[in-house]
Amino acid sequence: MTRKRLVVVGGGMAGLAAAWTARRHPAAAAGGLDVLLLESGPQVGGKAQSVEADGWLVESGPSGFLAGRPELTQLIADAGLADDAVPANANAKRRFVYRAGKLREIVPNPVGFARAGILSPRGLLRLLAEPFLPARREGTEETVWEFTARRLGAEVADRLIMPMTLGIHAGDAKRLSLPAAFPRMAALEREYGGLIRGLSAKRGNTSAGGLTSFRGGMQTLPRALAARGGFQVRCGARVTRIERTGTQWIVTAADDAAPIACDALVLATEPWAAAPLLQALAPDAAAALDGIYGPPVAVVALGYAAEVSRTVPRGFGVLITRDEGYRMLGNLWDSHIFPARSPDGHLLMRVMLGGAVDPGVGVMSEHAVIALARDEVARMYGITASPSFVHAVQWPRAIAQYELGHLARVERIERAAARLDGLFIGGSGLHGVAFADAAASGVRCGTQAAEYLRR
């Protein structure tokens, strides 16, 4: 048997998981498999970039992941990082919403919402009526807002679900598709007739673990996979063209190296980056990939001295409803979430700006986003001191939006990809936007590619 070659395009969590998995798959061992990963940026990790400077540890993207997803747990163990994983501090379970001029703690039960002033008495009654509402068994695809307003009332949709959707997807609940963005919520109505009934039935029976990161931040895993994977990694290699000739793929990158021939190809880029590569081969898939919107997000990290640390409650962070006169979507209180994020006693917080509700942030200068974040933080917490540490990251297209029609779009993409022998498409743009979803998607593509190469 001759040695085979697999090329993986994209060095985020999905691409690295694909390369790692294919390289270790028993099917690949038979004749030998060389794996080459091409990443356009200067380093691996994609959105997971962790920056260390002067005792501060700043995440440019994901803060953590929910432990318990088997594919990710396995990758962490195989990469030798089980002891580097750190669970979030106990007080990171405390989450806040800013409404009617105040930070209000989200105690996750209906009475807690009303006590905290998040819901009015009328909103609370509407929420409590949810178990008595009939389940909708069919009908047109609903947005996240439509579904939650129908089941839980417009107040819950506006005051909790809108900010939560911005917090998770940087997305607009009035545009995202419920079955695509929150499939488990859709399943609760389908399987149990309602959300409250479904949640009570499932209590104590969920597989989702706690929020987790690594001592050195989220980029620890991508870095370890790249270093210990036994595959070649080329950064600064933006793939500009893929072609099919006979039984091989030819991959051309913009880094002056010669085109590379391979037997199978995994595309693990953002969907909009995969679109132009597929334009000539599968125009239908290219159009569907290009139709997935990615809004800009700016992440501004601000580090404050010990005195300021006390002005912010111990907890995970705050989400802000849109009618409060703030542009920021929310803040994460990083020093309260994981250990060793800031010098002793200091406070590191990250301010999130932009998303689908405020795309104008994408054209602001770094100076302007920092000034905006500093002003709004000063106003919200009454902080007069200047931050002693500032770091900003601007993602022009941050997180794929699973808008209405997303599931149909994914079907079109996958149907077209299935017609292209030896090509596999993955990444967080299709079946889940979280870090663990990206890892699972990469594992799936790596397995499929290895099995294809055995044939």
Ligand X SMILES: Cc1cc2nc3c(=O)[nH]c(=O)nc-3n(C[C@H](O)[C@H](O)[C@H](O)COP(=O)(O)OP(=O)(O)OC[C@H]3O[C@@H](n4cnc5c(N)ncnc54)[C@H](O)[C@@H]3O)c2cc1C
Give contact residues for ligand X (rule: CB under 6 A): 9-15, 38-41, 46-48, 61-65, 238-239, 268-270, 273, 297, 299, 395, 398-399, 427-428, 433-436, 438
Q: Residue 186 and residue 437: Cα distance in Å, rounded?
A: 18
Provide CB contacts within 8 A for 392, sequence distance 6+.
Answer: 298, 299, 300, 301, 366, 369, 370, 373
Kindly tell me which of 97 and 445 has the beta carbon lying closer to ligand X. 445
Contact predicate 377/386, CB 8 Å: no
Q: To the nearest 10°, the Cα dihedral for 215, 69, 399, 239?
A: 90
Please, what is the minimum distance in Å from the beta carbon of residue 257 to ligand X? 13
Please, what is the minimum distance in Å from the beta carbon of residue 137 to ligand X? 31
Kindly tell me which of 16 and 124 has the beta carbon lying closer to ligand X. 16
Q: Residue 97 and residue 324: Cα distance in Å, rounded?
A: 11
Kindly tell me which of 179 and 295 has the beta carbon lying closer to ligand X. 295
Please, what is the minimum distance in Å from the beta carbon of residue 184 to ligand X? 15
Q: Residue 238 and residue 400: Cα distance in Å, rounded?
A: 20
Read off the tokens for 259: 């085109």
DSSP letter for each residue of 329-377:
-EEE-HHHHSTTSSSTT-EEEEEEEESTT-GGGGGS-HHHHHHHHHHHH
Please, what is the minimum distance in Å from the beta carbon of residue 439 to ligand X? 8
Please, what is the minimum distance in Å from the beta carbon of residue 365 to ligand X? 19
Please, what is the minimum distance in Å from the beta carbon of residue 53 to ligand X? 19
Provide CB contacts within 8 A for 91, sequence distance 6+.
Answer: 314, 315, 336
Region of 381 on the Ramachandran plot (φ > 0 left; ψ -120 to 50 alpha; else beta):
alpha
Coil vs helix vs strand at 279 = coil
Please, what is the minimum distance in Å from the beta carbon of residue 400 to ligand X? 8
